[in-house]
Amino acid sequence: MHEHTALMQRALVAARLGPEADPNPRVGCVVTDRAGTVVGTGHHRGAGTPHAEVDALARAGSAARGGTAVVTLEPCDHAGRTGPCTEALLAAGITSVRYAVADPDPKAAGGAEHLRRAGLDVHVEDDPAMRAAAEAVNATWLHARRTGRPFVTWKTASTLDGRTAAADGSSRWITGEAARADVHRLRARVGAVLVGTGTVLADDPALTVRDADGHPAGRQPLRVVAGRRPVPAGARLLDGHAETLVLPTHDPTEVLAALLDRGVHHVLLEGGATLAAAFLRAGLVDEVVAYLAPVLLGAGPAAVGDLGIGSIEGAVRLETTDVTVLGDDVRITARPRTDHHPRS
């Protein structure tokens, strides 16, 4: 293994310590002295805190002069709530920089070229595995910056015959405890949980991350309701356990634009069949997480509404990326194939 690959691995370990749902990317940095000895390791802890490079340089102190910085993401060249990392690297006397992923954010990009112009030896990581790992650490953040909209995961829980509730509307509980706990872990990883007003009126969900005893736990995602019908004053979404945003629109594009403006880069779509169909018809679902329970109902609402598909040739084809057994239930994770889209 090349020495710089081992250093990038250490930087990736540091990057994963950062908050996944933060508006900013997760970044790790390792600083060595001029002899190649690691003298500082840092990571970004969230919006408004020192960036990974600044964190690592603070730990390295004067030993960083003449040394190398290995960073999972291109050093930023932008002054926001914190100063540019390029200036911090230059002030510390770093002479060489290696990074794994170019920063796609137009406000922060250009750091590598700035450092080259200043005389530093700047390299992009040449190990494909390291580059792929660095991409994966910030998959949804990079998606949002490259596409101009948040990454959308549609989560659904249904019986084997595709029902999300019984004919009388009852749905608690289709899946077992293990699957429900997994949903809370999924919520903890996203910036926002989205439902429509129909789901609020029918199910009165809390949409919080909860512990085994049912109490709100840890960081809470933004709760979002899309639709024009008013949210009842006594709804659990207004209980104060997490922030709630009501967007009076049925347009998925408008919803995602509003969330991107708030720094959200990963949205968990938990709404009913109508909202799911709207996002699918618009081609705005990037991942499906389906919890299937070994239960048969024979009647009741389906997981998704009309997609405007008239024949099997128009079906939305998914590529399965993971299958996990959770108690008696099965979680299937899949992504829409780019060569198949429903027609609206």
Domains of the chain from N-terminus onward = 3-144 (3.40.140.10), 149-336 (3.40.430.10)
Q: What is the mean pLDDT of residues 252-270?
A: 97
Mean pLDDT of 176-183: 94
- Provide the pLDDT for residue 81: 67
Residues 6 or more apart whose Cβ sits within 8 Å of residue 24: 44, 46, 47, 141
pLDDT score at 339:
62
CA distance 108 to 18: 19
CA distance 131 to 133: 5
Per-residue pLDDT at 166: 87
What does the pLDDT average to over 73-87? 85
Measured CA to CA in angstroms, residue 169 lies from 22, 164, 196, 203, 303 at distances of: 36, 9, 16, 9, 13
Burial grade of 218 (CB within 10 A; 0-12, 13-18, 19 or more): exposed
Position 172 scores a pLDDT of 78
Average pLDDT of the residues in 59-70: 96
- Half-sphere exposure for 9 (CA within 13 Å, toward CB): 8
Band of the pLDDT at 246, cuts 50, 70, 90?
Answer: very high
Percent of the chain with pLDDT over 90: 75
- Quick one: average pLDDT of 264-270? 97
Q: What is the mean pLDDT of residues 8-32?
A: 96
CB 259 within 8 A of CB 123: no
Choice among 53, 74, 270, 287 that is catalytic: 53
Catalytic, 113? Answer no
Residue 342: predicted pLDDT: 46
Q: What's the order of all strands across the beta sheet hosting 244-247?
A: 244-247, 222-226, 192-196, 266-269, 151-159, 287-293, 329-336, 318-326
What's the pLDDT at 343? 44
> What is the mean predicted confidence (pLDDT) over 280-294?
96
pLDDT in tens, 225-237: 999 999 999 999 9
Nearest partner of 111 among 127, 128, 97, judged by Cα: 97
What number is the average pLDDT over the span 157-184?
Answer: 89
Cβ-contact 277, 304 below 8 angstroms = yes
Average pLDDT, the chain: 92
- Whether residue 340 has pLDDT greater than 60: no
The residue count for the chain: 344
Q: Is the pLDDT of residue 41 over 60?
A: yes
Supply the pLDDT for residue 33: 93
Token reading at 88: 């911090």
Task: State mean pLDDT over 288-310.
Answer: 91
- Statement: the pTM of the whole predicted model exceeds 0.85: yes
